[in-house]
Amino acid sequence: MKKQVDILIIGSGAAAASLSQRLLEKDPNRSILVLEAGIKVPMKDYKLYQDYLVTGTYPYQFCEDLNYPSIFGNGENVPVGGNQLQLSGGRAMMFGGSTAHWGGWSFRLKPEDFQLYTNTQIEGTIDWPISYDDLEPYYGQAEDYIGVSGDSTDQVPPRTTKYPFCEFPYTLEDQGTIEAFEKLGLDYAHMPIARHGISDTDSPHAPCKTTGTCKYCPFGARYFAGNFLDEMLKYGSFPNFEILQGAIVDRITMSSRSKATGAVYHDKFTTDSHTVEAETVIVAAGSIEAAKLMQRSVTPEWPEGVGNQKNNNLVGKNLVSHPFVYWEATLPENPQRLQPEMDFPTFISRHFDSKEQQPFGKFLTVRLNSFSDQFNMTTNNQVSTLTKAMQTGLNREEIDAVTTGPLNVQLITQVEVFTKTSNYVSNTAPNVINHLGMQETNVHYVPDSGFENRLDQIQTLLNPVFNEMGATNFRKASDSIRADHAACVTRMSDTPETGVVDKDLKVFDTDNLYVLSNGSFSSLGAINPTITLTALSLRLGDHLNSK
């Protein structure tokens, strides 16, 4: 049986949730269908919370990609030709999307990010077809919608509105880093973080209670799109708003080159195929799945997949994500018994996320939790030094020695990398299905040959910070490129010669097909993309509402 709706949204993450909200605010009776390939995992469940607390395993972990196949066991997806991008751990394919596991770091792009090519002349890069000023009002609205706690006096980048909630003060752990940055004349700031605060509104969202288990918040205080969608369904009085789970979209349907008519999907449990007809189609899946869906949507007018122009086939190309680089050094002692008291950082620096650094790959710097030198602790691990010490059987005196002894301090940098058409994602053969029932991914990402040099430069820039802190044995602890911030594979441009969608996120040469994902970023900058994506969603909502 065919369904007919005004608007079909594919995917149920931050983009889908914020866009639906904006559209239904204007017209609560609008018929909107959201198709989500994944399923709903219970949230705000105390049993699951305690299980996460004890085991460190979050209950939606099964919604992430498996590792690539290897001699150690079965895996999924295909790393092609020296690929260095990890899909595993980078995205969550479920109701609510990757906001299930995101950290909530809520940075705006800077004005210069919108003019990457103009500022750098780097081959393969482009400018955004919109400016920071175009997006600035929507950034403020996105921060309100998501619920960001931040420092409203921070004008880097410039802002015309206040954050809805005040910033989290610097922790005692931040002190040494702050002193070092001040001595060196480097800028720093409070982390803008997606944690709800105390509000005098009738918001259904609980404030953060600093529980320190953010990847599974027992209160729902960190923005998770699934919670917001649930609340819209429960309390929104939107009679024609529907979300289907386990609905894997096989292809977008088109009646001509310009007119999208809907989509064909199958129920992953019954395998039954269904057709949806829609006046407007929004692809709001994550970057990688959005590009793959468009590649699969082959029609006579789009023989290489919808959005792929004859001369360039850009859908799926220009893949970028952020290299996460962990820098570490050791303080000789820890007389204040510094230890993580939160699960999110409070100190950040955008000093090197600057126009001056832009040609080389600008980078964000964030102070992460410190940990005892005695235990080989990893970042984002909810097990504290104290837990580890007690569980391994140290007695009180031994633990006192550990908690006051040498301390490893850490900074993480996220580095901007530049688009190249040679980096891409694509579909595997149709019968190669991952553990969630979705077609697997071919992925090829190889950094520029100069990337290792850039890491050396960053190490040189950060070395004085650790020196000022009195830390020794400064080293690069690890670096990895994960798909968390995968972007630009359906990028926005002035022209179909260099991009897939226009400044309104509409696929070139179509009238009613939009791509709302990080894939539509023209460039990624050095920051986490979610607030920018949400701002684009709200902007698209206004665009559609004005029609």
Partner 1 sequence: MEHRKYNRKAYHAADPADVAVSQAIFNDMWELFVQIGKFWGKTEVVEDLRTDLLVFMNNRIAMDPSYLYDYKNASEVIKELIYEMGEEKGYESLFTDKSILDDPPTTLKARARQKVSNEFIVLYLSLGGFKDYGAENSLGYIGGANIKGKTPYRTIDK
Give the footprint of partner 1 on this chain (CB under 8 A): 46-48, 50-51, 53-54, 149, 165-166, 168-172, 174-175, 178, 195, 197-198, 207-213, 336-337, 339-343, 382-384, 386-387, 390-396, 399, 403
**Please, what is the minimum distance in Å from the beta carbon of residue 545 to partner 1?**
34
Q: Which is nearer to partner 1, 50 or 256 (CB)?
A: 50
How far is the C-alpha of 61 from the C-alpha of 541, rounded, in Å? 31
**What are 99's strand-pairing partners?**
none
Contact in structure between 450 and 345 (CB atoms under 8 Å): no
Q: Which is nearer to partner 1, 39 or 394 (CB)?
A: 394
Contact in structure between 282 and 543 (CB atoms under 8 Å): no
**Please, what is the minimum distance in Å from the beta carbon of residue 194 to partner 1?**
13
Structure tokens at 327: 């820098």
Structure tokens at 446: 């190889």
**Please, what is the minimum distance in Å from the beta carbon of residue 486 to partner 1?**
29
Rg of the chain taking only CA atoms, in angstroms: 23
**Please, what is the minimum distance in Å from the beta carbon of residue 88 to partner 1?**
22
Q: Which is nearer to partner 1, 4 or 50 (CB)?
A: 50
Q: Which is nearer to partner 1, 134 or 187 (CB)?
A: 187
Q: Which is nearer to partner 1, 42 or 158 (CB)?
A: 42
For residue 137, cis peptide bond before it (omega within 30 degrees of 0)? no
**Please, what is the minimum distance in Å from the beta carbon of residue 393 to partner 1?**
4
- Which of 222, 264, 212, 287 has the alpha carbon at shortest distance from 518? 287
**Please, what is the minimum distance in Å from the beta carbon of residue 529 to partner 1?**
25
Contact in structure between 494 and 503 (CB atoms under 8 Å): yes
How far is the C-alpha of 95 from the C-alpha of 36, rounded, in Å? 6
Residue 383 Cα distances to 340, 369, 436, angstroms: 10, 12, 29
**What are 91's strand-pairing partners?**
none
Name residues whose C-beta falls within 8 Å of residue 275's C-beta, 6 or more positions apart in sequence. 2, 3, 253, 262, 263, 264
**Please, what is the minimum distance in Å from the beta carbon of residue 493 to partner 1?**
41
Cβ neighbours, 10 Å, residue 129: 19
- Which of 347, 416, 407, 358 has the alpha carbon at shortest distance from 182? 347
Q: Which is nearer to partner 1, 54 or 156 (CB)?
A: 54
**Please, what is the minimum distance in Å from the beta carbon of residue 434 to partner 1?**
25
**Please, what is the minimum distance in Å from the beta carbon of residue 49 to partner 1?**
9
Measured at the CA of 110, the angle between CA 107 and CA 113, to 5 degrees, comes to 115
Q: Which is nearer to partner 1, 166 or 446 (CB)?
A: 166
**Please, what is the minimum distance in Å from the beta carbon of residue 271 to partner 1?**
23
How far is the C-alpha of 90 from the C-alpha of 486, rounded, in Å? 9
Q: State the sign of the Cα–Cα–Cα–Cα dihedral 141, 142, 146, 150.
A: negative
Q: Which is nearer to partner 1, 133 or 341 (CB)?
A: 341
Residue 385 Cα distances to 161, 339, 378, angstroms: 40, 8, 11
Q: State the sign of the Cα–Cα–Cα–Cα dihedral 25, 31, 514, 433.
A: positive
Q: Which is nearer to partner 1, 255 or 381 (CB)?
A: 381
Backbone angles phi, psi at 518, to 5 degrees: -60, -20
Secondary structure element (H or E) that encloses residue 95, with its range: none
Q: Which is nearer to partner 1, 280 or 384 (CB)?
A: 384
Q: Which is nearer to partner 1, 53 or 477 (CB)?
A: 53
Structure tokens at 347: 């100190």
Provide the 3-class DSSP secondary structure of residue 135: helix
**Please, what is the minimum distance in Å from the beta carbon of residue 4 to partner 1?**
29
Q: Which is nearer to partner 1, 190 or 351 (CB)?
A: 190
**Please, what is the minimum distance in Å from the beta carbon of residue 206 to partner 1?**
9
10 Å CB burial of residue 255 (0-12, 13-18, 19+) is exposed
